[in-house]
Amino acid sequence: MYSQLLHPRNPALQNKWDGDIQRAFFKCTKWQLEETLDPINCPYHYYCSSDYAGDYPPWIDSMVMVFTMASFLATVILTVLEMMGGRKPTRLTRLSQSRRYFLPSGPIFLPVILIIMAKGYRINSVFPTSHNGPAILQLVRMSALAFATETESDIKYVFLEASTVSGILHTALYLDSIILPYYTGLDALVSSRFSGECLTCVCRQQVLVVGGRLLFYRGWSVTTALVTGTLIFRIFTRLATEGKNRIMLMKFTMEALSWTLMTLECAYLLIISPPERTWTKAACFAGVCVLLCLQFLRRVTTSIVAFYNGNQENAVRW
C-alpha cells in the first residue's frame, strides 16, 4: 500500500500541485488537530500551525553539495590507498596518522557537517538535506567505523574518539529534526484529502503521527547506537588492562552488526523512498553503496595480506 502511495503517479506528488503547497506540508513542524462535525468522512481534521522561514539561496545548497562530494571522494581515495598499499610503506603510515583530518568523521569535516545539519531545515533547493541527509549520516558513520584513530597518546585518542561519538549523535539528532517534519508532511499530503478550509487543512481516517506511517527511517536509531557503541568499546580496548579479550569480542560483534544494519538502511532508502529529487537521491545512495562495497573489499584484502604476512613470519621462524 505504501509503495502505491509513493508512486510518482500519485496526484499529490505530480507537478500539478503547486510548490508552495508541498513546501507548506514538508516544512511543517506543528500539526494542529481540530474538532470535526463529520466523524464518518472526516474523523480527524488537521492543519499546519507553524511558519517556515524560507529556503536558503541556491548557492548555499551548491556549496553543501560540493563539500559532500569532497568528503565522499576523500573517503574513497583513502580506502583505495589502503587497499593498494596495506600498512607497509612509510608514506602510507604517515597518511594513516593524518587521515583523520580528511575524513567526514574527522575534527575538520565533522564540525562543518554538524553546521550543515543544524541549518539543514532550510537547505531545500539544489541539494535538499531532507532527501540527502541520511546519505551524509551514512558517510560519517562509515568513515568512523572504517578508519580507526591512530595516535600515540592515550589522552588524545580518547578525546578524538569521544568527539567523534558526540558528533555522530548530534548529526543523527539534527537529521531527525529535518526528516521527521518531511515524513510527517508527506504522510499528511498523500494519504489525506483536502478539506478546502485552508491551504493545509486535510481530513484523515487515521491519526497523524510524528514521522508519518509511509516511511520508517530515523537518524537516531539502533544503527547509530551500535556505531557509537563500537567507538566506545574501541576506547575501552585501548585503555583496558584486564579482560581485554572480552572487550574486543564485544567490539567486533557490535562493529559487524553496525555494518550489516547500515547496508540494510541503504537498501531500504534506495527501494522505499519518496520519488522527488530522484537524481540526487540516486547519486548519493549509489555513492554510499559503492563505498560500502569498497570497505568490504578493503577488509578482505587487508585480511588476506595479514594472513600472508603471518604465514611468512612463521616460515622464517621455523
Residue 6 lies in a domain: no
For residue 274, the model assigns a pLDDT of: 66
Rounded Cα gap, residues 166 and 113, in angstroms: 13
> pLDDT tier at 308 (50, 70, 90 boundaries)?
low
Residue 267 lies in a domain: yes
Query: Is there a contact between 141 and 290 (Cβ–Cβ < 8 Å)?
Result: no
Residue 124 lies in a domain: yes
Find the domain containing 140 and state its range: 56-181+222-274
Evaluate if residue 268 carries a pLDDT over 60: yes
Average pLDDT, the chain: 80
Cell numbers of 29, please? 513542524
Residue 160 lies in a domain: yes
Residue 281 lies in a domain: no
Structural domain count, the chain: 1
Q: Tens of pLDDT along 35-94? A: 887 788 888 899 998 888 888 999 999 999 999 999 888 888 888 877 776 544 444 455
Evaluate if residue 2 carries a pLDDT over 50: no
For residue 240, the model assigns a pLDDT of: 75
Residue 112 lies in a domain: yes
Residue 316 lies in a domain: no
Rounded Cα gap, residues 212 and 26, in angstroms: 11
Report the predicted TM-score, pTM, of the whole model to 2 decimal places: 0.84
**DSSP reduced 3-state for 215:** coil
Rounded Cα gap, residues 253 and 122, in angstroms: 38
Neighbours of 133 (CB within 10 A): 27
Residue 133 lies in a domain: yes
Rounded Cα gap, residues 11 and 5, in angstroms: 9
